[in-house]
Chain A
Amino acid sequence: MNIYVCIKQVPDTETKIKLNSDNTGIDTAGIKWIMSPYDEFAVEEALRLREKNAGSTVTVLSAGPARVVEAIRTALAMGADHGIHVEIPETADSNMSAKALAGALKKEAKVDIVFTGKEAIDDGAAQVSQLAAEYFGIPCVTVVLGVEYGASLKCKREIEGGAFEMVETPLPAWIAAQKGMNEPRYASLPNIMKAKKKEVKALKAADVGVADSDQKIRFKNFELPPPKQAGKKIAGEPAAQAKELVRLLHEEAKVV
């Protein structure tokens, strides 16, 4: 099988986000970059599928500025065989990223299955899987917790209300992984060493048919959330407490 995984490099979860000087994005100086955690489930699922199907290969793709090659190396260290980097600007939106990934996949001889995370933890847009699958022309199943592999794929999806649904799709298909699909492995040292020597194919935006006009969203003004307020403790009789809570939710938090 020719297995592909699309990953995104994102700021580490503990990063203290600062805005850039004109508030059009975040200040990337000093940020520790990691592979988006949902994408780790995708990589792990791809590696497990390869282990069950002799002769398969896992290729990792990432679209973004030069730095994202580090994330590709991380996936290679986990055990992926090949890497492809499509260079697109830092400011790229979901549409441009999706088009870049689909464009790169189109250059591949045969694609049997594509994995990705259900969303990236930076913008949390959860757009790229569906858009890219559409551009590439294959079905997409999102928020997948588990797959029964066969002639077709039976995917267990998490849906609202804590329920699950089963979706069946033919191959090739695009699977967007949800947390819990598996336990991603920790790269062994021999694999880390090997990953340093693996080739990462470099593509430019133009090579995959991506133009500036593919960026549909331009960000004008970011704002940091207000600093966290200290918690409030409501005292008194249970009935009075409930009343006060409703009042606060209505008048101060304005959520009910």
Chain B
Amino acid sequence: MTWQTFLFILVAGGAFGYSGYRFSILIRLLKAQKGQANRLDQIPARIGTTILNVLGQKAVLQKKAVGIMHATIFWGFIIITIGTLEQFVSTLYAPANFEFIGHTAYSGLVFIQDILTVLVLAAVGYACYRRYIVRPEALGKSKDADLVLAFTASLMVAILLMNGFHILSASPWYQDSMPFSKMLAMILAGMGFGPGSSHVLWLVFKWIHMFLVLGFAMYIPGSKHLHVIAAGPNTFFKTIPREKGMRPINFEDEKVTQYGAAKVTDFSWKDTLDYYACTECGRCQEVCPAHNTQKPLNPKMLIKDLKENLYRNKEKVLAGKYDEVTSVIDENVTDDVIWACTSCRACEIACPVFIEHTDKIYDIRRNLVMMESRFPAEAQTIFKNMETNATPWAFSSADRGKWSEGLSVRTMAEDPKVDVLLWVGCAGSYDDRNKKVLRSFSTLLKKAGVKFAILGTEEQCTGDPARRIGNEYLFQTLAKANIETLNRYEVKRIVTACPHCFNSLKNEYKDFGGNYEVFHHSQYIAKLIGEGKLKPTKGVDETIAYHDSCYLGRWNNVYEDPRQSIQAIPSARLVEIKANHDKSMCCGAGGGRMFLEEKIGKRVNIARTEQALETKASIVAAACPFCMTMITDGVKAKEMSDKVRVMDIAELVDQATP
């Protein structure tokens, strides 16, 4: 045994032992979580998404420059680690190396490693430029990041120097496959280093490199750089479909006595994996409508704070003393943080490692509402209205069908043999502005010869606002009543003008026995135009900016149908708001916030309206009743009502269709 072997066993054994111990604690913490998450379905899809997003770096590359930087470092580390492994092996047993893969292959490997070492160094340079010169707000200051960058740069420099001195001292046969190291060797030779001193310095830098790697291994478990281990699994275990519903609670199960998350341990193992995977890149923060309007919610900090809460309670969790674990609501994660969320999901879509922020907020809300009756006072009125009149607004359920007076719209009770059920929703039923949208849409359906009916007084709120605010019990009461009605009429197809109803009916009712083919009206209109049943031939000579609804776009990936409907109108000019599609900004009304007061910071709807007004469009097109209300209010507040109108897709197409 050489001194190198001996030293390596000692140092590596210690380092990996310590690192392994720290990882074992992380795994025990993860396994100690009480919540449930089943993420072992759809294995082929999981493998696919992992390949695409880990190896292919797809989500990271949503942002170009920084994505390329990350992909370079990622691939650099993968390939360079092969060399590091080889180094470990040959240190343990000198004759062993990876040259058995063949002369050409080995030359190729060495070549790529050499190139990547320099590219990684360049990428770290860009990262430093960004972090210390450009300084985007979302990155913030981080000692952890400083250290990781220093680590990475030092590793690459050590590799280059090690290889340079190796070439000088040993002239390995593959030296011509290492252009940068070879160049460095020539420079070093020019500086007067001979074979003897080079051998010593090769050894020095080889050991510096190994110490750095082992130090890194010990450092990672306690750092945000834990993402190098956790991001892969987190991608594999992500929620696969874009159209995800909220997780139902089984109220029949008498063993369950805690609803929602009162403590950090009430979340699932997957939530803990989310904390581990977070590398604090701040992409969520950049797109959060709450954060961008000075609300205390910052999705990045939420994840970091929950992680710190878990770490603070580490001893108690590991000892199984769940009773002593402190509340999930603390000085960082306050009630205001939790109530600021509009559930727009911009954070989740932006997240390169698929952290699911909204589920955590929902779980905390569920505990606050159902266990502690602690919520903004306005919500109580909403709940009571929904309980007694099945609508968040104070209107009688007897008046639900009134919007259609004079249109001779039939109810399912009158004629259940229809092509499609028109689900009106509470806004369409009671809100004066949105009643007009429903009138336009039903007129359009008639123009297209579609046989449809409504439920009239039998329709109830889908329960979406209650569910998003955290009142799962009330949601399920309403959902089950609606499903009973829908199934009684054997409803197969539903069309609705409300993306929130659409999302509930399509993605959430199936958990309670309601399976329907559900269309948003923008999809249905696009379909009718496509089939030639609707012919918008009259021109609408206007510039129209389409505002994406979160529950249509980010939650259900419906982006093109509303745009196609507008583009089908002769002489209408569709323009995009700067933030559009996945990057669109919420109007401020999702997540139940439609019904809550907005007391902190700038109003979200004003911020979004300003973005829409920047386009100079004369019409802002909406496809959601809540967006309609919020943007209309925004236009009024900006005193632009005489220049800019807010209209629904259905109204535009109706106007263009003779």
A8-30 residues at the B interface, CB under 8 angstroms: 12-16, 30
A110: interface (CB < 8 Å): no
Q: B397 touching A32 by the CB < 8 A rule?
A: yes
A185: interface (CB < 8 Å): yes
B398: interface (CB < 8 Å): yes
Q: Taking CB as reference atom, which chain A residue is nearest B393?
A: A14
Distance, CA A192 to CA B380, complexed state (A):
15
Which residue numbers of A lie inside 8 Å of B, CB to CB? 12-16, 30, 32, 34, 183, 185-190, 192
B373: interface (CB < 8 Å): yes
Q: A189 touching B259 by the CB < 8 A rule?
A: yes
Q: B388 touching A14 by the CB < 8 A rule?
A: yes
Contact residues in B for A190 (Cβ distance below 8 Å): 257, 371
- Cβ 8 A contact of A16, one of B375, B377, B394, B396: B396
Q: B394 touching A188 by the CB < 8 A rule?
A: no
Q: Given known contacts A187-B373, A188-B370, A188-B373, is B388 in contact with A12 (CB within 8 Å)?
A: yes
Distance, CA A32 to CA B390, complexed state (A):
10
Could you jot down 23 A-B contacts, CB within 8 Å? A12-B388, A12-B396, A14-B385, A14-B388, A14-B389, A14-B396, A15-B398, A16-B399, A30-B398, A32-B388, A32-B397, A34-B384, A34-B388, A183-B377, A186-B375, A186-B380, A187-B373, A188-B370, A188-B371, A189-B259, A189-B370, A189-B473, A192-B473
Q: How far is the CB of B178 from chain A (nearest CB, A)?
A: 67
Beyond the given pairs A32-B397, A186-B375, 7 more chain A to chain B contacts, judged by CB atoms under 8 angstroms and listed by A's residue number, are: A12-B396, A14-B385, A14-B397, A32-B389, A183-B377, A188-B371, A189-B371
B410-437 residues at the A interface, CB under 8 angstroms: none
Q: A188 touching B396 by the CB < 8 A rule?
A: no
Distance, CA A190 to CA B373, complexed state (A):
10
Q: B373 touching A185 by the CB < 8 A rule?
A: yes
Contact residues in B for A13 (Cβ distance below 8 Å): 394
Which residue numbers of B lie inside 8 Å of A, CB to CB? 251, 257, 259, 369-373, 375, 377, 380, 383-385, 388-389, 394-399, 473
Q: A16 touching B398 by the CB < 8 A rule?
A: yes
Q: A15 touching B396 by the CB < 8 A rule?
A: yes
Main secondary structure of the interface of A (DSSP, over half): loop
Contact residues in B for A185 (Cβ distance below 8 Å): 373
Contact residues in A for B383 (Cβ distance below 8 Å): 186
Which of A32, A186, A188, A190 is most buried by chain B, counting CB atoms within 10 A of its CB?
A: A186
Contact residues in A for B399 (Cβ distance below 8 Å): 16
Q: Taking CB as reference atom, which chain B residue is nearest A193?
A: B251
Contact residues in B for A187 (Cβ distance below 8 Å): 373
Q: Given known contacts A14-B395, A14-B396, is B388 in contact with A188 (CB within 8 Å)?
A: no
Q: How far is the CB of A76 from chain B (nearest CB, A)?
A: 15
Contact residues in B for A188 (Cβ distance below 8 Å): 370-373
Contact residues in B for A15 (Cβ distance below 8 Å): 396, 398
Distance, CA A13 to CA B251, complexed state (A):
30
Distance, CA A186 to CA B377, complexed state (A):
10
Q: How far is the CB of B258 from chain A (nearest CB, A)?
A: 9
Rank and list the top 5 A-B pairs by shortest CB-CB distance, nearest first.
Answer: A189-B370, A14-B396, A12-B388, A186-B373, A32-B388
Contact residues in A for B397 (Cβ distance below 8 Å): 14, 32
Distance, CA A30 to CA B473, complexed state (A):
23
Distance, CA A45 to CA B473, complexed state (A):
26
Q: Taking CB as reference atom, which chain A residue is nearest B260?
A: A189
Distance, CA A34 to CA B473, complexed state (A):
18
Contact residues in B for A189 (Cβ distance below 8 Å): 251, 259, 370-371, 473
Distance, CA A187 to CA B396, complexed state (A):
23
Contact residues in B for A186 (Cβ distance below 8 Å): 369, 373, 375, 380, 383
Distance, CA A186 to CA B385, complexed state (A):
13
Distance, CA A192 to CA B383, complexed state (A):
14
Contact residues in B for A183 (Cβ distance below 8 Å): 377
Contact residues in B for A32 (Cβ distance below 8 Å): 388-389, 397
Q: B389 touching A12 by the CB < 8 A rule?
A: yes
Contact residues in A for B473 (Cβ distance below 8 Å): 189, 192
Distance, CA A188 to CA B383, complexed state (A):
12
Q: How far is the CB of B459 from chain A (nearest CB, A)?
A: 15
Q: Taking CB as reference atom, which chain B residue is nearest A183?
A: B377
Distance, CA A192 to CA B371, complexed state (A):
10
Distance, CA A221 to CA B471, complexed state (A):
43
Q: How far is the CB of A39 from chain B (nearest CB, A)?
A: 14
Q: Taking CB as reference atom, which chain B residue is nearest A192?
A: B473
Which of B257, B388, B394 is most buried by chain A, counting CB atoms within 10 A of its CB?
A: B388
Distance, CA A187 to CA B374, complexed state (A):
10
Contact residues in B for A192 (Cβ distance below 8 Å): 473
Which of A16, A30, A188 is most buried by chain B, counting CB atoms within 10 A of its CB?
A: A188
Which of A12, A15, A16 is most buried by chain B, counting CB atoms within 10 A of its CB?
A: A12
Which of B373, B377, B395 is most buried by chain A, counting CB atoms within 10 A of its CB?
A: B373
Q: Taking CB as reference atom, which chain A residue is nearest B249?
A: A189
Contact residues in A for B385 (Cβ distance below 8 Å): 14
Q: Taking CB as reference atom, which chain B residue is nearest A15?
A: B396
Contact residues in A for B394 (Cβ distance below 8 Å): 13-14
Contact residues in A for B257 (Cβ distance below 8 Å): 190
Q: Taking CB as reference atom, which chain A residue is nearest B396?
A: A14
Q: Taking CB as reference atom, which chain B residue is nearest A32?
A: B388
Q: Taking CB as reference atom, which chain A residue is nearest B383?
A: A186
Distance, CA A12 to CA B385, complexed state (A):
9
Distance, CA A186 to CA B369, complexed state (A):
9
Q: Taking CB as reference atom, which chain B residue is nearest A74?
A: B387
Distance, CA A178 to CA B41, complexed state (A):
57
Distance, CA A91 to CA B573, complexed state (A):
65
Contact residues in A for B369 (Cβ distance below 8 Å): 186
Contact residues in B for A34 (Cβ distance below 8 Å): 384, 388
Q: How far is the CB of A97 from chain B (nearest CB, A)?
A: 23
Q: How far is the CB of B566 from chain A (nearest CB, A)?
A: 37
Distance, CA A188 to CA B374, complexed state (A):
9
Q: How far is the CB of B361 from chain A (nearest CB, A)?
A: 19
Q: Taking CB as reference atom, which chain A residue is nearest B377?
A: A183
Contact residues in A for B388 (Cβ distance below 8 Å): 12, 14, 32, 34
Contact residues in A for B372 (Cβ distance below 8 Å): 188
Distance, CA A13 to CA B381, complexed state (A):
12
Distance, CA A190 to CA B369, complexed state (A):
11
Q: How far is the CB of B439 from chain A (nearest CB, A)?
A: 21
